[in-house]
Structure 1
Amino acid sequence: MNPRLSALRISFLYLIAATLWVWLSDQWLQNVLHDPASLARALELKKYGFLALTFLVLFFLLCRHFRRQDAAFAALADKEQRLSRVFEVVEDGIWDWDLETQRVYYSPGYANLIGLPLEHLSDDLLLWEQRLHPEDRARILALHQDCIQGLRTRLECVYRIRHGDGSYRWVRSRGRLTRGEDGRPLRLTGVNRDITHQRSNEDHLRQAAAVFEATQEGLLVTDARGVIVHTNPSFSRITGYSAEDVLGGEPSLLKSGRQDAAFYQHMWTALHENGVWSGEIWNRRKSGEVYPQWQHIRAVRNEEGELTHYVAVFSDLSSLKRSQHELDFLAHHDPLTGLPNRLLLRERIDQALARAEREQGGGALLSIDLDHFKHINDSLGHNIGDQLIRAVAERLESCLDERCSLARLGGDEFAVVLESQQPHHASSLAQRLLEAMSAPFEVNEQTIYMSVSLGVSLFPEDARNVDHLMQHADAALFQAKASGRNLYAFYTPELTARARSHVQVESALRHALDHDELRLYFQPVHDLATGRMVGVESLVRWQHPQKGLIAPGEFIPVAEESGLITAIDAWVLEQACRQMRQWLNAGIHLDFIAVNVSSRLFGRGGLEERVALALEQSGLEPHHLELEVTESAVMENFDQALELLCQLRLLGVHLAIDDFGTGYSSLMRLKRMPVHKLKIDQGFVAGLPDDSEDAAIACAVIALGQSMGLQVVAEGIERPDQAAFLLTHACDFGQGYWYGAPQPAEVLLAQLPRGTA
């Protein structure tokens, strides 16, 4: 009902009634009373009577109106109280977004959901928007806009929002849009529910499912009636029955008949009373073979305590039973040294091969033979020989870690099983064993020098079964002995050469670090527009005393694998800062000196302290130092990398992304990085200007850098047409052999620009 129309209608009726009353009553009185005095008194009484009557009518109408108003207010207050109580009880966060005023109402439950006091909530939309997880923000804002614009009828999404304690909580948001009569969107109202615990439970369920499928133990699940509802792959591997063979059946089909009714009665009694039973049981495979199991059965109940399922976990005890019947400690171990013997070694190799196949791993078998041990036995006697064998076993065992297993095969033969995916781990272990054996042995007050020869066979590359692996290791051992003893050899000559080269380079590189054999070379960086040299990039070289100057490609990969790259990076950083300070003091006008930071040093931690120390010790201003970090190193652990880049930026140094375009960058992440430059990898420059794909990539990187306010440097410029192409497309800087090859500081000095630093 329209209040204005109602008021107008009542007023109009009142006007008509009052007019009729005044006119008709005056006419009647004039017709009835002819005496002027009486007529005057009657008209006066009529006037006051009319006022009294209208007063009574108005009083009655107002009383009824105020009674209805009070009732309406009471009902409204009661509804508000109920709604307020509901909001206080509901744990979900309720929100109401007024699209015209852009103000948002947040319920008390919403305050609890995001961990803020209720009084800290405002009606600002930014309260919600700024707490969205950075990776979810763009997607969620787009979904809300789609709903407002009518592209979707309802809003439903899942995202992360920052809690008051700083963590992020997962929420599920559902909303509905309200429109006006003209179709204009007015309000977006919704409910947010914290599903962090639910997602955690879902993750746990997925993990449990993965364990269920991957475990080597057989798993069998039945319902409360004992009907099989689920099995895992190991069940089929152990029993020979596929899932289709047993689903819908009962576990009794696995019975061997060895246990009597009393055994099963005891098992069911334990399950009913304790909810769990464990024990050894004999079952029958699909092939008919009877075999022992160690089985663990647990009853599963729901929240009301009602039995819902039984879960049985079992492992095949066949191998263990055979071992128990066939072998004792002496059958598995060497009585002289206590080490595993050949039989146990074969079992461990078999297990290692199975693990390697299952986990896509690998390893190696090292066959070890003492050089000229027969001479010790013949000259000093078997007693001394036995003592020497024990001492050798102890020294070999001291060189091994948890990945290795040592065995004595008999006489002067030993073997080591190493589980590792890296072939150079085997060569490093072999080298370590050779070095350990070089020290003399003190046996019965006699000093004995002993050396060993080793043969190495890798799995699964060289062999996938025990016999072949041992044969190949023996063949490699024969090769080592034939080559002069006191060394090791791989089953394949190529691997032997590669492993020895790796160890030799690593050893020589350690010597180079200790004896100042590294050299720093510098490659000019030019401004493409002016042609002026604006900086240099620091590059490490190795001045080998016999081989001469060694390029980085020959020793950097070894340094990265061995961890020496961290020490090399630190040396380059320190030397580059000192050299730049010397140039500036001599009046050289360079803007920066660039230093590459390896991914190992970048991800190790403490880089900002190392840089600050190098700057302090050299006296170099931070803006003259530019650190180059590869794209892949930054993206490997972006959150940690971003924090480190910000810390380096606070030091005042400049930052560049090296090899840009060769890795996988998220533009959303790239725009957050506090870097100054992008470096186009030389692989994209080599084909310029003729290769259309290289040209497109180079132009895209330049355009991307310009749009983000970053400078772009092109590496590997070797021809003038490459430089001209890059200049035409507004690339800022370039370096490469067209401008100058890397040179020592003293050679480059004559080319450096002079001026005021």
Structure 2
Amino acid sequence: MTIPKRHMIRSLTMIEDFTMTILMNMTDGVYLVDPESKRLVFGNPVLLTMLGYGKDELKELTIYDLIVSDKDRIDSYLQRAFKKCRLHIREGVFRHKIGTLKKLEIHATPCWGHDQSLLFVLVREVTGNVDASSTPSSFQKAGEYDRDPLTGLMTRWAFQQKIQESLGTTTQGTLFWLDISHFVDINKDHGFLMGDSILKMFAERLQHSLQGDAIMARIADDEFALWSPYDRDALMVAHTILHAVTRPYLVDDDFLRLTVSMGVVRYPEDGVHVDALFSHALEALCQAKEVVGNTICSFDAQYHQDNLLRVSLKSQIPKALENQEFRLVYQPQIDIQTKTLIGMEALARWEMQRGTMVPPGQFIPIMEQMGLIGAFGTWVMKTACVQNKTWQNAGLRAIKMAVNVSAQQFSDNQLMAAVEEALAVSGLDPQWIELEITEGTAMQDIERTRAVLRDLKNVGINVVLDDFGTGFSSLAYLKNLPLDGLKIDLSFIQQLPHSATDRAIVIAILKMAKVLNLYVIAEGVETAAQLDFLQDEGCDMAQGYFISPPKPARDLEPLWDEMGQRSQVQ
């Protein structure tokens, strides 16, 4: 019986569709490799998810971009797969799009067609992200299980074991922990192969930076460590290492400079156990990374205590929000010339259940890191607006309510929504709310700042530039921002009227503000002499402990009576 050609074509199409359906719905990652070009011609959704690539991005890659190993070794495995018709690698190390490493079990088999051969590869996760303490890749040579496959340096696990052995025989030692800043950008701009080449050169320079019994390791993708068991000048050694690894690298006929941060810990002063030394080295590294540029930081016991506090507060904030431990207090603002009450600034406080008060300078940055500052800022704004409206409804003369806006709040697209929600809930007229943004926030993206301020002005909201004088405001930009006022930072007020420098700065700000038609608020006024100086120089408003400390709303109503500002209409 002869089968019609059209039926054969239809059957083959059905088989292809059926095969593709299976591949697309498998729970393991699957990809096809062209053995000639080494390019990936197909990857199923699971593989894309595993490695973070898009469908089109994957087709631009070769197998060398994905697998972390020597090129010749990868070629030998491809040849073995076609020669033996199968290949099984228990643990291969793959590179994720963002540069992190993943261990994947590999099963490969060749597929032959009429005019093309492909390698069918199935991969499944072993233990997720590669940890240097675990067993290395099967792409490594036998006997190299304690070595990083790319640089040949020790893994973290082997490094840790060596230091542990060293502590039993030495009385002194120093651990240096290095991190290459923004290395993911190098991979993105120059490709993974070039990135790997730079990491190899970095490791070689690290090895040649110190002589003797120093040992080195590649801790993570762009982190390295070095242990010296000698009694040496640790900072001098650190500078020697830093100089060696930050010299220019020749890349694509151009020179590339790396930015490196380093943490330094000493044994036994900063820790007597390996775990403590590693933990403290990481803390010192984190402190170094807070500074822009090549930086070295030794372990700081105070920074360690502050970090422990941050970790503790971070764990307690969600429960504190649930228990409503946060509240607002308000600090009065007065017209300096008439000494009348004209405003309040809303300030957040965290009063723990056991009575401990946590200042905003400690919990606000943590909330920003946790992504909670948007919701918290909206709560502050609503609560402050409701309180201001409550005062008005009680027959007290209307005043402005100043609310601080964090950089994160200002940069997202929810600020206007938060303002409108606060006004709607409270029923407060927009003219009685004033938002304070810092210089640094305003200058991050001047065009966006101008657009946001314009939207706020259209609603009728006043905006003040907070902490003025501590940032880097350009007068050219400042004159074109739709601002209402400036708040002079308290650092310029504290030494008034005795400091000639601060007097000159404050007078200059007041004159500039007058030209720009902006009112000026001085914060941190703590003495009569400071208030008198500001009055003589024509400052508009002031706040500070000399006038009144921040207080709960219930304790502030007498101020209206004292200043004769209770409305005639009750």
TM-score by length of 1: 0.40
Residues 607-638 of structure 1, C-alpha deviations (whole Å, 9 max, x = no match): 11210121111000000111111111111011
Aligned residue type for 1:754: R
Residues 342 and 662 (structure 1), Cα distance of their counterparts in 2 relative to 1, 3 Å cut: same
In the alignment, structure 1 residue 545 sits paired with structure 2 residue 353? yes
| Correspondence 1:366-377 to 2 at 5 A | none
Distance 1:609 1:318, change over 3 A: closer
1:514 partner amino acid: E
Query: Alignment partner of 1:589: what SS?
Result: coil
Give the SS at the match of 1:739. Answer: coil
User: 1:543 deviation in Å?
Assistant: 1.4
- Structure 1 CA distance, aligned partners of 2:498 and 2:301? 43
Matched, 1:754 2:562: no
Deviations 1:222-241 (A, max 9, x none): xxxxxxxxxxxxxxxxxxxx
Determine the structure 2 residue equivalent to 1:697. 505
How far apart in 2 are the matches of 1:337 and 1:278?
26
1:511 corresponds to which residue?
Answer: 319
Q: 1:338 aligns with which of 117, 120, 126?
A: 126
Partner SS, residue 329 of structure 1: strand
| Cα distance in 1 for residues equivalent to 2:342 and 2:149 | 62
Label 1:670 to 1:334 Cα distance change in 2 as closer, same or farther (>3 A). closer
Q: Which letter does structure 2 place at the counterpart of 1:570? A: T
Taking a change above 3 Å as real, the CA distance of residues 337 and 637 of structure 1, as seen in their structure-2 partners, is closer
Verify: 1:329 aligned to 2:117, yes or no: no
- How do 1:343-742 and structure 2 match up within 5 A? 343-344=136-137, 346-347=147-148, 350=151, 359-360=180-181, 460-461=262-263, 472=274, 498-742=306-550
Distance 2:429 2:359 in 1: 30
Structure 2 length-normalised TM: 0.52
**2:180, 2:261 within 8 Å by CA — same for their partners in 1?**
no
Q: Distance in 2 between matches of 1:541 and 1:353?
A: 48
CA distance in 2, matches of 1:319, 1:706: 68
- The alpha carbon displacement at 1:531 in A equals 0.8
* Separation in 1, partners of 2:151, 2:489: 47
Report the RMSD for the aligned CA atoms in angstroms: 4.0
Show CA shifts across 1:149-169 (max 9, x none). Answer: xxxxxxxxxxxxxxxxxxxxx
Give the SS at the match of 2:342.
strand
Cα offset, 1:691, TM superposition: 0.9
Aligned residues: 337
SS of 1:678's equivalent in the other structure is: strand
Q: What is the DSSP-based 3-state SS (H/G/I as helix, E as strand, rest coil) of the residue aligned with 1:342? A: coil
Change (3 A) 1:323 1:501: farther
3-state SS, counterpart of residue 357 of structure 2: strand
Larger Rg: 1
- Equivalent residues in 2 for 1:127-206 (5 A)? none
Secondary structure of 1:524's aligned partner: strand
Q: Relative to total residues, which structure has the larger helix share, 1 or 2?
A: 1
Is the 1:659–1:680 Cα contact (8 Å) retained in structure 2? Answer: yes
Deviations 1:172-200 (A, max 9, x none): xxxxxxxxxxxxxxxxxxxxxxxxxxxxx
Q: Is the 8 A contact 1:577 1:618 kept in 2?
A: yes
Quote the Cα distance in structure 2 between the aligned partners of 1:643 and 1:499.
Answer: 38
Relative CO higher for 1 or 2, CA cutoff 8 Å, sep ≥ 6?
2
SS in 2 for 1:338: strand
- Given that 2:344 and 2:401 are in contact with CA atoms closer than 8 Å, whether structure 1 keeps it comes out as yes
Shift of the 346–566 alpha-carbon distance from structure 1 to 2, 3 Å rule, reads farther
SS of 1:343's partner is coil
Q: 1:462 to 1:351 in 2, by over 3 A?
A: farther
| Partner SS for 2:482 | coil
Displacement of 1:560 in angstroms is 2.3
Change (3 A) 1:680 1:278: same
Amino acid aligned to 2:309: S
Unaligned runs of 5+ in 1: 1-276, 280-316, 364-415, 422-457, 464-470, 478-490
Question: 1:562/1:350 Cα in 2 relative to 1: closer, same or farther (>3 Å)?
Answer: farther
Counting only pairs closer than 5 Å after superposition, residues 233-248 of structure 1 correspond to structure 2 as none
Q: Which deviates more, 702-711 or 552-561?
A: 552-561
Give 1:756 deviation, angstroms: 4.9
Given that 2:343 and 2:400 are in contact with CA atoms closer than 8 Å, whether structure 1 keeps it comes out as yes
Instruction: Measure the CA separation in 1 of the matches of 2:300 and 2:340.
Output: 54
Structure 2: segments with no counterpart, 5+ residues: 1-35, 39-67, 81-87, 93-102, 106-123, 138-145, 156-176, 185-217, 224-259, 266-272, 280-298
Q: Which residue of 1 aligns with 2:58?
A: none
Contact preservation (8 Å) 1:533, 1:590: no
Tell me by how many angstroms 1:461 deviates: 2.2
